[in-house]
Amino acid sequence: MRGFDKAYCYGEYDGALRDLIHLFKYRGVKPIGATLAKYLPSALPLDLQVDVVVPVPLNWRKQWKRGFNQAEVLAAYVARRRGWKLARILRRKRGSEHQASLSNSERRLNVERAFRAASRVDGMRVLLVDDVMTTGSTARACALALKRAGAKSVTLLTLARVDRRLAVPSAKTYIGSSE
């Protein structure tokens, strides 16, 4: 079970987009986030109905070190642009290993039940926002937590998607993926 009902992304996690995401996420160039966020609404259908926008949460240590949650920066822009409510209701129940070095099955186990919703979302259509989707393990775990909290549907929106069919396993390929 995927957990989320639909998924949309702006582009492929490669080339200039990948480089910009790395500057934003790992080099602390937070102003790039506003530029990147402007691309997200174009990935969504104009008639998409959403009750609440929820960013994927970071581990508190990562957020403290980075100074911001990149998914929250992106989610806040989309919510403002479309006139939707932003809710930071997902919480990490426990830390998890960095996903980049793990296999697909290890990624699923690493984040399984790692998230919980801090409040109910009964009958709501949720837009879950993250920066990058690799295997979908994190998105799946978040979506399942939202559905346990009563979400009617969960639509995933990411800035970029790794095409795992074409990826060559190397340190460079996977460094910085959020999955």
In the prediction, which pLDDT does 111 show? Answer: 65
pTM of the model: 0.83
Question: Which residue from 66, 37, 57 is spatially nearest to 118, judged by alpha carbons?
Answer: 57
The alpha-helical segments, DSSP class H, found in the chain are 15-26, 31-37, 60-66, 70-82, 104-111, 137-148, 171-174
DSSP SS3 for 12: strand
Report the C-alpha gap between 47 and 100 in whole angstroms.
34
Which band of pLDDT confidence, cut at 50, 70 and 90, is reported for residue 28? confident
Fold (topology level) of 6-174 = Rossmann fold (3.40.50)
